[in-house]
Every structure is written in C-alpha cells, then in structure tokens.
C-alpha cells in the first residue's frame, strides 16, 4: 500500500476518509522506518511505501496563482 504524503503541508491522504489529514513529520519518519524494516526482512512485504505527492492545499495554491496570472491588467499596471 502506498501512502501519499505532502511534506510541504504535512498532510497524508486518508483512503478511508477519502480526504487529506494533517500528519506530523515525526510520524511519517517512523512509517518510513517501518517500511525500510519491512523491505529488509521480507522481500514480499513492501506495502508501506510513502510517496511524496501534492495535497489539496497545494492544488488550491496553484489554482489561486493561475487565476491571478490569467487576469487582464488595467492600463498602467
């Protein structure tokens, strides 16, 4: 199972809740440690892989930036 995590906003995607939730960097670090342990002990169990992705707050930020750049400027701006 891959865990989608945004380190910029310290948020993890909850598959159960189908939403982004705040998760501490310390917890994600611990999960990565468990993943490394699983990979080193059983080659068939790499199911806690943490994947860095953009969260919903990242998407909202980019939408705001895109909208502000798309607005026509008045004369003299």
Question: Does the pLDDT at position 72 exceed 90?
Answer: no
Answer yes or no: is 40 within a domain: yes
Query: What is the residue-averaged pLDDT of the chain?
Result: 77
Answer yes or no: is 29 within a domain: yes
Give the predicted TM-score (pTM) of the model: 0.47
Answer yes or no: is 59 within a domain: yes
Answer yes or no: is 76 within a domain: no
Task: Spell 2-18 as b/e; 16+ CB within 10 A means b.
Answer: ebbbbeeebbbbeeeee
Question: Does the pLDDT at position 66 exceed 60?
Answer: yes
Residue 6: half-sphere exposure toward Cβ, Cα within 13 Å = 15
Answer yes or no: is 41 within a domain: yes
pLDDT tens for each residue of 21-36: 988 889 888 888 887 7
Answer yes or no: is 75 within a domain: no
Q: Are 50 and 5 in contact (CB under 8 A)?
A: yes
Q: What is the domain extent for residue 47?
A: 2-70
User: What pLDDT does residue 44 have?
Assistant: 56
Q: How many domains does the chain have?
A: 1
User: What pLDDT does residue 23 have?
Assistant: 84
Given the structure tokens 């705001």, which residue do they identify? 64
Residue 20: half-sphere exposure toward Cβ, Cα within 13 Å = 18
């Amino acid at each position: 199972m891959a865990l989608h995590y945004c380190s910029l906003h310290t948020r993890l995607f909850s598959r159960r809740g189908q939403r982004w939730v705040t998760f501490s960097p310390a917890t994600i670090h611990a999960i990565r440690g468990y993943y490394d342990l699983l990979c080193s002990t059983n080659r068939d169990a790499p199911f806690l892989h943490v994947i860095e992705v953009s969260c919903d707050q990242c998407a909202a930020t980019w939408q705001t930036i895109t909208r502000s750049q798309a607005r026509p400027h008045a004369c003299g701006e």
